[in-house]
Amino acid sequence: MGGVLSIGGSEAGKVGADNGPPGASQLRAHLLDSRLAGTTATSREKSLRRYRLFAARDPRALIGLEPEREWPVPALLALMAETCGVSGDAATVTGHDTIDPERTIAALDAFADRLRSAAERRVPVLLGTGHPARLLGFYATLASALSSAGCTLLTSATGRRIDITTRFGVRTLTLGYARGVALIHEPGVRPAVDAPGVHTHSPLPLRTVLSAAMADGGPLPGLVIGDHGWVCAAGQLGIEAIGPADTDDPAPFVGQAEGRVSVAVPVDDAARSDSYRPLAHYVLNRACLSQ
């Protein structure tokens, strides 16, 4: 039966290639040097705009989450200050957001705990990204390690067409997989490292994969690892979900606060793709999955 994938251990085997996996102090320095944390490229204006959209329950900001309670902008700002380290001062309306690297490392430790648990139980795992140009390598490294540990990687709905609403109108895109990671891409374009896919916040790809898996008779994921609509839509449906999130995307952090997203890792999600490699190595080492 289709819909599952097995990957060899070559990518996981590179975990120690860069002088071994980083420790917490090394990782903290890397987060600051790469601007994944500290002062990031995400503008305060963009974040506040997204908080206003979320407070108004705009689907573009909810990305698959249905909050259980009201989240006015002051409450969102307080949450993001607590979980990410952004400024909690409502009078700060310009400049760049900040992420506390200690909060990032603590969240990565919790992320690693969930990876270890999934590997021990050998649960089926779905990995998906709305940021393929930036985060594909991060997820692919995790996919390889989890597959080597005996977890089934789900690949349902390959080739399905999905109508995605964008600011330029509705685009019909194709769901595919690259190195065990789900993404959407232009029709007729094979997802690959040099053309990995299309950026999206939509929850529709996750819902499409789950619908196809159920129609095929399973299995369904015991853990979803992803960002944007992948993690929020999974958490909303009661599936354990973990992943990175930027300061201009409050939905994963609200999902975490309300108990539907297990771990939201505060990190700039639009940095250079190779800057996420030490994060993957760190969590795999913490999860005892490095090879």
In a domain, residue 234? The reply is yes
Task: Give the tens place of pLDDT for each residue, 182-225.
Answer: 999 998 887 766 667 999 999 999 999 999 999 999 899 999 99
In a domain, residue 240? The reply is yes
Predicted local distance difference test score (pLDDT) of residue 9:
38
Predicted local distance difference test score (pLDDT) of residue 40:
97
- Which domain, by its residues, includes 70? 35-287
**CA separation for the pair 247, 272 (Å, rounded):** 17
In a domain, residue 218? The reply is yes
- One DSSP character per residue, 64-81 reads T---SS---HHHHHHHHH
In a domain, residue 154? The reply is yes
Region at 199 (left for phi over 0; alpha for psi -120 to 50; beta for the rest)? beta
Burial of 232 (0-12, 13-18, 19+ CB in 10 A): buried
50 and 76 Cβ atoms separated by less than 8 Å: no
Predicted local distance difference test score (pLDDT) of residue 15:
32
Task: Give the tens place of pLDDT for each residue, 37-86.
Answer: 999 999 999 999 999 999 999 999 999 999 999 999 999 999 999 999 99
In a domain, residue 137? The reply is yes
Q: Number of folded domains in the chain? A: 1
Predicted local distance difference test score (pLDDT) of residue 254:
98
**CA separation for the pair 119, 268 (Å, rounded):** 27
What is the pLDDT averaged over residues 87-101? 97
Task: Give the tens place of pLDDT for each residue, 102-161.
Answer: 999 999 999 999 999 999 999 999 999 999 999 999 999 999 999 999 999 999 999 999
Place of tokens 């399905």: 160
In a domain, residue 87? The reply is yes
In a domain, residue 139? The reply is yes
In a domain, residue 12? The reply is no
Confidence label for 5 from pLDDT (cuts 50, 70 and 90): low
The rounded mean pLDDT for the chain is 92
pTM: 0.91
The percentage of residues in the chain with a pLDDT greater than 70, rounded to a whole number, is 91
